[in-house]
Every structure is written in C-alpha cells, then in structure tokens.
C-alpha cells in the first residue's frame, strides 16, 4: 500500500492579490511547501492539481454566485494560473511527482477530473502506482479540497484531509463541507484556516 499527498490548487489567483482570493491562502502555500519538503518520506508520491481554464462556460461570470460561477480566474497561460511563489519552488525542485490540470472547458472542482499533460486521469495514475491512501491539502476547503476528497472516497481510496494545510472561503460553507466529508467517511485532522 502507498500513500499519496494531493495538493489542491495552490495558485496565485486563489491567494491574496489574486482574482478569487481566499484569505490565508498565501500562508497555506508556504505551510504546504514546508510539508512537502519535511515529510516527503511519509508519501510514496506527491501530486498537485491546477485549475487550467480555457473556456469553462458559465463557470466564469460577470455576476458570479461564488458557488457555481466565479470571476475569471486561473486562465491557461495566465500569471494567476501559476502556482503561488511559496509553493512553486517545490514543484520546480521535483518534489511534486505529477501535476494534474482540470477545468479546461468546465468548472471541474475535483482533482479527480484532472489529467496529466499526456491525458492520464488522476485515479488511474494513482492506481497504476499502488496508491490506496490519500492525504488532501490546499485551497479551498469548502470548494476544490472538498470535491477532491469526496471523489477520492467515492473512487475507493482511504482519504484524509489535513485541515491545518487548507484555507476555507467562509465559516458556514467550510462547516458544511466538513459535515459532507465526515458523512462520506473522510478522516479529518487539525483545524481549517478560515479568515473571511
């Protein structure tokens, strides 16, 4: 059995100064980078997901509801779509084994809707390497972290969310997300950062 760490959407647009900022996102980016550096031996693999929008349809809106639609963010090739500068070095140093791009033509909140550059889905990539257990961290607890963890559990992985390494958009939606995760059998450790 192998354990993998999934780092969800630690991108500039989701941190302070980005187009859809989550308060505390930059701090989580630095903490996640430290986690990857300090605990690499705890994981057989470390992977990261990236929003990579080309034409996501109604996911982009001039009048977003911040549930299904949002302002323009993480456009493929844009500065905002890049990894946060506190996290990017661990990717450049090779501490991240693979990057999964999601949302080219849809909302795609879950990392399990993502693909490698050669088109391999996340679940297939993990299974091909004997991964059974997942730790999930990243941004945002109540959106893409939630969706990734739930889809991982549905796909048959044993999933744990490390809340100390997540940032939530709002207290109420984060609380609902945690209830959803518990209900799906996802283990939760630590406490989420919610600074909204």
CB 51 within 8 A of CB 74: yes
Catalytic residue among 12, 109, 135, 144: 144
Q: Is 74 a catalytic residue?
A: no
Catalytic residue among 9, 51, 135, 151: 9
Bridge partners of 60? 70
88: Cα separation from own chain's centroid: 14
- Is the omega angle on the peptide bond into residue 179 within 30 degrees of 0, that is, cis? no
Nearest Cα to Cα of residue 140 among 77, 195, 89? 195
Nearest Cα to Cα of residue 102 among 137, 56, 52, 139? 52
Q: Is 102 a catalytic residue?
A: yes
Catalytic residue among 13, 51, 102, 142: 102
Distance, CA of 159 to CA of 122 (rounded, Å): 14
- What are residue 62's phi and psi, to 5 degrees? -75, -20
Q: Catalytic site residues?
A: 9, 102, 144
């Amino acid at each position: 059995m192998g354990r993998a760490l999934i780092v969800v959407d630690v991108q500039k647009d989701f941190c302070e100064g980005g187009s859809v900022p989550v308060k505390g996102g930059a701090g989580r980016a630095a903490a996640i980078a430290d986690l990857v550096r300090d605990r690499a031996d705890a994981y057989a693999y470390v992977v990261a997901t990236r929003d990579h929008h080309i034409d996501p349809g109604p996911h982009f809106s001039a009048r977003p509801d911040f549930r299904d639609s949002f302002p323009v963010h993480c456009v493929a090739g844009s500065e905002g779509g890049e990894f946060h500068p506190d996290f990017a070095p661990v990717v450049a140093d090779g501490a991240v084994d693979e990057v999964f791009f999601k949302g080219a033509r849809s909302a795609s909140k879950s990392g399990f809707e993502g693909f490698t550059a050669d088109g391999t889905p996340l679940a297939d990539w993990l299974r091909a390497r004997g991964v059974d257990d997942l730790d999930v961290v990243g941004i945002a607890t109540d959106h893409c972290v939630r969706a990734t963890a739930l889809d991982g559990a549905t796909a048959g992985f044993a999933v744990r969310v490390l809340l100390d390494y997540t940032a939530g958009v709002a207290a109420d939606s984060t609380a609902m997300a945690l209830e959803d995760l518990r209900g799906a059998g996802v283990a939760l450790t630590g406490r989420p950062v919610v600074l909204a």
